[in-house]
A and B are shown apart, each in its own frame.
Chain A
């Protein structure tokens, strides 16, 4: 078991040929929308989703009547049938859900793109509305009843021992990562600080105009050793939506299309939701390696071609670990790469999370990262990277994940 991953040998013989991929270059993101990001929206999640969808449809220059597909997060409480009645969508031909929390972000695009590429629908909207700050905060222990209502029995092996919240689940990987590669707290700190710098230039970000230094990082509260408060994302109320259609239809629409080069998913053996501890190696993200291998396989692109990346960053260590798994650096070199922050700033070798990401813009389960990746293609980011041709996004970590590559 696990031989394929440990040997780092992706078996492409069994994979559909890249030429057979109907998503590549034939589909596009044509509209993005979002609500404000706040600590208390004061409205229902359904309203947040509806507002974001209307904004995205308008951004695309479409009418709500044009929409005939919806892809939602399985854990989103806002169901497509109620959106159909609320928004007045006349006939929904494709509706689907993607599981695994933030792991679903780029998955929604992968499924929407497959649907439009095969003619199952014409315009598919992917959305997420969440009152994650004023409602149920993921960073807090849910009520006893809710913990016991876990869909699977794996909670039974962590909860009785008090390993009860996401930061602690990731802390276990991080301890091991720091042990194996000699990564330091300061190195993780620079990830946090660079993203904060980006948010300070993004008026929509929760941490707009709230600068922080590496000293502030080191002084921030220890949550679950070795993770500090500044290592964790910012719980947010908000909504995001994205419109997907064919590249052909995109030509007639309002915006510069973000052409989809590839949208992939990845899962690896012996996984469990954010606590895949029973694998031979845990200082790593095998799901990301699989999603990356498939992405490079389909697109023919290599990491050095990428101009800007929005890495899923619920916690700081996930950025260096993804730099490794997606092949931007060698195994164990991610933290050194982030040290000092120069390489990952907007003017660096590989600009990362230019809107501030989950750590400093907002935590919208990856959907705000996709919006930023599209803005980088359009040239409308508040931290615009020059001459972006290829813009990449990744989905949630420690769970079945996903990845998306866009080009201008």
Chain B
């Protein structure tokens, strides 16, 4: 059977500064970050013929092609939900493998901190009855109106089911912040966190503390993906897409499906993990770094379980003290800091770091890293990637 394994490669990356207020439109940041990624790849806008965007992203194909002078695209589309990042990479790889295009740009820019946002799409203009908001219709009237609430609900059940102590997630936050504190590109550069600070951090939605949650900020990340063949003639070491997958299952909701039998797990992540390991032909033991969705710290141990890095229910003990997930540990996690320690642009920066590790240019370089795993959208419609050099 044909496959899109090892047919496409990441050849350019761009990352904007993370700020509280960048003072620019999201479209301007998008164009600048794509320009950086193209320069990194040694390409120009005229080389681009594909584009995949996050559905809710403000900068559409028209705006970007008009501003950057891209004459024509033959493959473009949108991917929704928090699980979009790896899913977008998968669509790029599919389009390239199918011969629909040769060079795809993917960018996500969010003015989450400054809120200087281009108004998002019409579908969220206050109409509760639309079906993508179906589950909010049943939650919001009771005051559960933000995704943090759904994650808190899931976390509470997870803690009860596996006997996890209060504040046990502090070690995970700590490792992310340690990594982030060494990363000059990150929002939390030189801002290490102590466990004491964590324990004193405000309780937002019990059991989630403020420091368990990613912070809204302004930032952007862009990628250039092209065929492995073309990639070999370009400036950078090609980082091949060896495995990529998505999963939506019955009772999946946009964040933490609360109606499934066992809510202390993430079956979508398990399905994604199975598919990407199978596709890449590797096992968890072969992976050198894992960039996991850490929008909320409790998501990390559950992903480690679902992906098979540890047994079910052992995610928290696995992360306890942090040594097993540190740079020289069993599986280094979120080596640039992730959402909690580097910055939050909806998990796009996690893929950037996976690429840096494989290029050997990470600020927290894992020695001889040759396989990197990324997960986005933990808890909802999920996606995953295995990249290799």
* Interface residues, chain A, with chain B CB atoms under 8 Å away: 1-2, 4-5, 14-18, 20-23, 44-46, 74-75, 77-82, 84-85, 88-99, 107, 110-111, 113-115, 117-120, 145-146, 148-153, 264-273, 290, 294, 298, 400
Contacts and interface: CB of A to CB of B under 8 A. Distances in A.
B293 interface: no
Contacts of B131: 44-46, 77-79, 82
A82 B246 contact: no
Contacts, number: 202
8 contacts: A18-B99, A77-B123, A78-B131, A97-B77, A99-B78, A110-B75, A149-B121, A152-B58
A93 B245 contact: yes
A120 B251 contact: no
Contacts of A118: 2-4, 94, 97-98
A110 B91 CA distance: 12
B200 interface: no
B312 interface: no
Contacts of A78: 131
A1 B69 contact: yes
Among A16, A20, A46, A273, the one with the most B-chain Cβ atoms within 10 Å of its Cβ is A16
A265 B76 contact: yes
Contact of A148 (B99, B119, B254): B119
A269 B98 contact: no
A69 to B, nearest CB: 9
Contacts of A117: 2, 98
Given A16-B102, A75-B121, A98-B77, 5 more contacts: A99-B77, A114-B100, A150-B119, A271-B66, A400-B73
Contacts of A271: 62, 65-66
Contacts of A115: 94
Contacts of B74: 15, 264-266, 290, 294
B248 interface: yes
Contacts of A80: 248, 381
Contacts of B75: 110, 114, 265
B252 interface: yes
A113 B98 contact: yes
Contact of B122 (A90, A146, A269, A272): A146
Given A16-B101, A97-B77, A400-B61, A89 B91 contact: no
Contacts of B227: 16
Top-8 shortest CB links A-B: A114-B98, A21-B99, A20-B99, A92-B248, A118-B4, A97-B78, A16-B99, A77-B130
Contact of A119 (B4, B47, B91, B99): B4
A95 B98 contact: no
Contacts of A79: 80, 131-132
Contact of B98 (A4, A21, A81, A272): A21
Nearest to A49: B131
Size range of the chain B interface in the assembly = 35 or more
A114 B275 CA distance: 18
B340 to A, nearest CB: 26
Interface string B50-80: 0001010010111101100111111111111
Nearest to B227: A16
Contacts of A81: 248, 252-254, 380-381
A66 to B, nearest CB: 15
Contacts of A21: 98-100
A85 B79 contact: no
A120 B4 contact: yes
B354 interface: no
Contacts of A94: 246
A111 B50 CA distance: 12
Among A2, A146, A150, A265, the one with the most B-chain Cβ atoms within 10 Å of its Cβ is A265
A88 B69 contact: no
A188 to B, nearest CB: 27
A149 B249 contact: no
Contacts of B91: 96, 111
Contacts of A22: 2, 97-99
Contacts of A14: 47, 49, 102
Contacts of A110: 75, 100
A4 B46 CA distance: 12
Given A92-B249, A269-B69, A23 B2 contact: no
Contacts of A74: 55, 78, 80, 121
Contacts of B100: 16, 21, 23, 110, 114, 264-265
Contacts of B275: 93
A136 to B, nearest CB: 9
Contacts of A152: 58, 60, 62-63, 118
B255 to A, nearest CB: 11
A235 B132 CA distance: 23
Interface in B96-124: 97-102, 118-123
A267 B55 contact: no
A17 to B, nearest CB: 7
Contact of A114 (B78, B95, B246, B271): B95
A231 to B, nearest CB: 25
